[in-house]
Amino acid sequence: MIACNCSICAKTGTLLTFVPASSFKLLSGEEALTDYQFNRQVIHHLFCNTCGVRSFARGVGPDGSEMAAINARCLDGFDMAQSPIQNYDGKSH
């Protein structure tokens, strides 16, 4: 789990976990997603244009493979107390 201090993650309380794009399947709501990009514009920060929730993002990992960044706070049954959290200084990158 990664807690990033960039302007978006810090203000929205996002806790990220990353999976290969092939391991992520959005079951519904694709039509209600709005894309936001900033900085280097390599990550598609998606949010629901109805309620504003930022549940995941799509992008490319450091090795060039497609990935999904999932906001763990949006996962049913997620126990933050049981997950180690690594801080990432996104503000400086």
**Distance separating alpha carbons of residues 61 and 66, to the nearest angstrom:** 6
Number of domains in the chain: 1
CA distance 87 to 81: 15
Domain span at residue 12 reads 2-92
Q: Please give the residue that has the higher pLDDT: either 80 or 27.
A: 27
Q: How far is CA 82 from CA 1, 58, 77, 85, in A?
A: 11, 25, 11, 9
| Model confidence at 10: pLDDT above 80 | yes
The pLDDT tens digits of the residues spanning 36-56 come to 987 777 789 999 999 999 999
Full-model pTM: 0.86
Task: Count, in order, helices (H) and strands (E) of the chain.
Answer: 1, 7
pLDDT of residue 8: 86
- Confidence category of residue 17, pLDDT binned at 50, 70, 90: very high
- On the 0-12 / 13-18 / 19+ scale of CB atoms within 10 A, 63 is exposed
Beta bridge partners of 57: 45, 69
**Domain CATH number, residue 61:** 2.170.150.70
pLDDT score of 7: 86
